[in-house]
Structures are given as C-alpha cells and as structure tokens.
Amino acid sequence: MIELSQARSKRLLAVHGWSGTVLGLALYVVILTGAVVVFAHEIGTWSVSGSRAEQPLAVPMDAKLRELAAQVDPEYLDDINLFHNAAGHISAFFHTHGVKEDGHPMEKGVRFTFDPVTGETLTRQEGYADEFEEPVSGLERFLVDLHVNLHAPNPIGLYLTGILGFVMLAAAVSGFLLHRHLIKDLFVAPRLSSRLLNARDRHILAGSWGLPFAFVLAFTGAFLSFAGSIGLMTISMVAFGGDQEKLIETIVGTPEGEDATPAPLANLDAMLRQAAEKSHSAPAFVSIMHYGRADARVFSFHLAGEGELQSQQHVFKGSDGSYLGPKPTLGTKPSAGDAAFTLVSVLHFGTFAGLLSRVIWFALGLAMCYVTLTGLQLWLRRREDSQLWRRLGRSVPIVGYGLPIALAASGIGYLLALPAGAVLFWTPAGFLIASGLAIILGCILRDEALLYRLYRGLLGASLLALPVLRWLTGGTGWGPLMANGNDIVVLLDLALATGGIGYLYLSIARRPAPQWGADKRPVAAE
C-alpha cells in the first residue's frame, strides 16, 4: 500500500489526468502505431505476398556483387551498402559522400535491386539516396515513419514523439503512485452495478497490469527519439567541450590510415558465413568500405540470435577476408554503455524472444491503447457540465476508431495501387481519405449508438478487405506460401479476417454505446 496525503493525491491525480488529457489522443496514435510497427517487417512481407528468400543476405552473392561493381563509376566504389526489402530482393547501393544543392550532406551513387534466387537485376537507380523510390516497401515504410516521427520533418517529428514519451512516463509514474492497493488492483473484478463503475474498474485493471510495460515503453521511446537528435550534441558539449570530432572518434573509433593500393575483395560469401556462425543469425545489413582497395573493410550487422538480447556487428579485412573482431554499436570495444544502448532498442521493439515476445508486446500495446482511451473518457465524464469538454469527448471515438480504420485504409490503398506502381501516393492518400471520413461522420452523427456501430462496421469491413484484396490483386495463395516458408502471410490473413468478422459482428450486435453522461452519480476517475 502506498501512503499519500490527501493534498499530494490531488496533485498527482491532476498530473495523471492532465498528462493524459492534453496529449492523450496524440499519445494513443503513437502507442497504436507502435503496436502495429512491432510487426512492420511481417506486414511488409504480407503486403507483397511473401519474401523470395527467408534470409536474403545469407544467399551467395559474391559473384553478383562483382558483376554490378564493374558497371558503376569507380568513385561510387567508396562505400557499398547491402540490404533487402519486404519482398526479399537485395539492394546494393554503390555510393560516395556527396553534398546536395541546399548544402546538406547526402550519399550519392547507384542502387541496384536484384533477385537473391535468380540473380536477375530488377532495377537500377542513380542519384542521391533520398531520391530513390522503394514502392515494394511502401506500406512498411509508411507505418514506421508514422510511429517514429508522425511524418513530420526531422528533427521535429522525433522531438514530438520524444515529448509524448515523457508524457506517457509522467502518466505511468503518477498512476503507479495513485494505486493505493496496487496488488489488489491487479485482481479487481469489474463491478456490474454501474456502467461508469465498470469502466473505471476495467481502466484500473488494465492500467495495473500494463504499468511495467508503460514504464519500459515510455522511457525507451523517449530515449530513442532524443538520443540522436539532442543526446549526442549534449554529450559533445558536456563531455568533450563541444569537440564533435573527438566525440565521433570516441564512439566510432579513430580512422585507420588509408591505403588506396588496388586489391580485389576476398570472397564475400565466406566472410558472411563466418559472421553468421558467430552471431547465430543471418546478416541483416552489410557495409563494404573502400571496395577494391587494400584498406577495404567489410561490416556485417546481425540482429539478436535465438535466445540472445544483443545485436552484433563483425568486421573483416576486405583484401584477404581475415576476421578483425566484433564492433560495438557505441565505442571501440564492448562496454556496459554499449550493452545498455542496445538493450534499449530491444526492449522498445520487443525483439528479445522472437515472435513470442513481439506478440506479447503487441497485446500489451493494445492494452495501453485501451487504458489511454478509457482514462480520457473517465476524465471527461467528471467535466461533462462544460460544453468545451463535451466537444472534446466526441474526439475520443473519432480518433479511437478513426486511426485503426485509417491504418487499414492505407493498406487498402497500397494493395490497389501496387499493380500500377503508384503506392507511394495512394498509401498515404488512403490513410488521409479514411481519416477525413471518420472525422466527418463523428461531426455529423449525433446518435452515439449509431456512430459506434458505423465505426465498428467500417473497421470490420476494412480489415476483412485486406486479405481479400491481397489475393485479388495477384497475391500468392496459401498453399504455395506455406510451401515456400511464408507462413506469416497466411497467419496475418487469418488474423485480419478474424478481426474483421469480429468487428462486423459487433456492428450489428445490440450493444449500447458508452454514453458517459447517462450516470449522474459523482464517481471519481481514479
């Protein structure tokens, strides 16, 4: 039991309520999109009906890389990045460090995309890195950007999501202190005598179980938002007296002496196999520095393997393929700071136990969405005598249902536009059109019961349309998908169809809408 004076309890209640109310709906957007982005890679694979290879960068590609290197200007051999898209196609970006007309530094070069199975070159694009289009990963990229920076310009978007992380942290801390009987609240039985009491008990129950997750999510999210945009600048000012070069040397390491003597790259496949054995996972990203020179270096980045928490990076000498050792994310040698930094990302995205941990993170994310929305409704119930607060109350169902409808609509827009290659326009357009429709319906319809039924019907129809459209637009059937190891596409089809049918049922079932003004008894929100 947490003992607090009455005055302190009132202050904490004000902090808890206002931190959730002022930015509560924006916080809901970040939490829900974060829950979805936990499966961003799987959604990307689903959107293109499966990946060409289960581990694209584990296939032999040494010969293909040499073939492509012979087709580019020698200045673009300075650096090569190898990565794969949602369809499992490998991209090889040969580039150098350029400067755009506006003065901003940006990598410039040639990017090839090729099939890892057949080796066929699919696309060739030349220019600056931010000018390249990747329609295949359009849906995945849209969802990730919505969560990370709300599609606002950098670094403004990162500042916004970082602030929302601190808001969530304030709500979590104050909520923890306000739970006078925390253990008891974990097992509270929602009362049925009053709809308001029932909603309050459900809010407390979900919030109590979600408190540890809320702490982790809020802290790690705020850290990831501010670490790059503000954190490094602050460290350079405090620890290095503003010397950014010294900071970079400490984090990345002192650059080695250059040796431009021509030397062919050793067998890349052998180096990556060795890195995979050390990491217990296939490469997720490969970087080659100074291709074709005696000072060439190969960096192989790997996500955490089975039963491990930390990602790994291994370095090889390019000219002879000798192993130079692991490369920490921060610093030049393994340290507690590097381990903590890596752990922050792992905990935020729930990747520490494979698919199981991400399913749990997704479920906890949805629970926090429920806590956010019910907390808003309970707070507004206590202020329903004010016309301003009543108007704000209408925004809760608009955003609460409008956001998932819009997210599903972005997928619909993507699938419809994929055959025409216009996904970069219609994916955000589908999101905006559905958002506008949800807002218009919320402003026009005064019957709350009808509004909720309509929202549920739209959400159900949108979710059900996704697997149907995937198949109708040329998607692969379940049999070939399972035969090729793309079971996740089938699982997502089933999950979307089940969710769609469930919401369609709720839309026609005779369930009363949560009319918070119906019960006039003064019941505290917490």
Determine the pLDDT at residue 518: 39
Q: How far apart are CA 427 and CA 151, in angstroms?
A: 13
Determine the pLDDT at residue 240: 62
**What is the per-residue pLDDT across 60-82, written as a single tens digit (0 to 9) for each?**
999 999 999 999 999 999 999 99
Q: What is the 3-state secondary structure (H, E, C) of 191-220?
A: CCCCHHHHHHHHHHHHHHHHHHHHHHHHHH
Cβ contact 276:302 at 8 Å: yes
Determine the pLDDT at residue 132: 93
Cβ contact 141:33 at 8 Å: no
Percentage of the chain with pLDDT > 90?
Answer: 54
Determine the pLDDT at residue 520: 43
Question: Which amino acid does the sequence have at 144?
Answer: V
Cβ contact 110:124 at 8 Å: yes
Whether omega before 155 lies within 30 degrees of 0, making that bond cis, reads yes
Element at 90 (helix H, strand E): strand 90-99
Determine the pLDDT at residue 526: 39
**What is the per-residue pLDDT across 429-459, written as a single tens digit (0 to 9) for each?**
999 999 999 999 999 998 888 999 999 999 9
Determine the pLDDT at residue 207: 80
Determine the pLDDT at residue 182: 67
pLDDT at 284 over 50: yes
- 95 vs 255, residue with greater confidence: 95
Tracing tokens 């350029």 back to the chain, one arrives at 98
Beta strands in 348-454 (DSSP E): none
Question: Which amino acid does the sequence have at 114?
Answer: F
Q: How far apart are CA 349 and CA 352, in angstroms?
A: 8
Give 177-183 contacts, CB < 8 A, sequence gap 24+.
177/2, 177/4, 177/12, 178/4, 178/9, 178/12, 178/13, 178/16, 178/526, 179/2, 179/204, 179/208, 179/211, 180/1, 180/2, 180/4, 181/1, 182/1, 182/2, 182/208
Give the DSSP letter of residue 3: -
Tracing tokens 């993507």 back to the chain, one arrives at 414
Determine the pLDDT at residue 521: 41
What is the bridge-based pairing of β-strands 285-289 and 79-84? antiparallel
